Amino acid sequence: MNDCIFCKIAAGQIPSATVYEDEEFRVILDLNPISEGHALILPKKHFTDITELDAETAAKVLPLAARIGEVMKKALGCTGFNVLQNNGISAGQTVFHFHVHVIPRYEGGPDVV
């Protein structure tokens, strides 16, 4: 996928604010965060959306989201977090490389989602 910005970010070809990386995933801070610490989990493999995910990625991505959320609670002091994932233009997807939003939520903070 030559033209996919998230492929390039996930591969490290475009610099990003990376908060976690392993063989299969890169987790970055969203360019337009809806709360402080809003992160995106990007698989290094290209999938357009959830319908294309392979079994291995599907099995790993939610446990990773849970771990990221737990780290956010400790590191950022959030008291909760949303895990959000958009598929298709009508659902608000704007980047067509599967990704999962992990959005920290703070006690008394605004209703961002």
CA max distance for the chain = 43
Interacting partner of 7 out of ligand 5GP, Zn ion, none (Cβ under 5 to 8 A depending on kind): Zn ion
Which among 38, 97, 99, 101 is annotated as catalytic? 99
Annotation says 99 is catalytic: yes
Residue of 55, 89, 90, 92 interacting with ligand 5GP (CB under 6 A): 92
Which whole-number Å values give the CA distances from 110 to 30, 78, 80, 85, in the listed order?
Answer: 18, 13, 13, 20
- Please count the residues of this chain forming the interface with ligand 5GP, following the rule CB under 6 A: 12
Residue of 31, 51, 63, 110 interacting with ligand 5GP (CB under 6 A): 31
Nearer to ligand 5GP, 108 or 110 (CB): 110
Site residues (vs ligand 5GP, CB under 6 A): 5, 16, 28, 30-32, 40, 86, 92-95
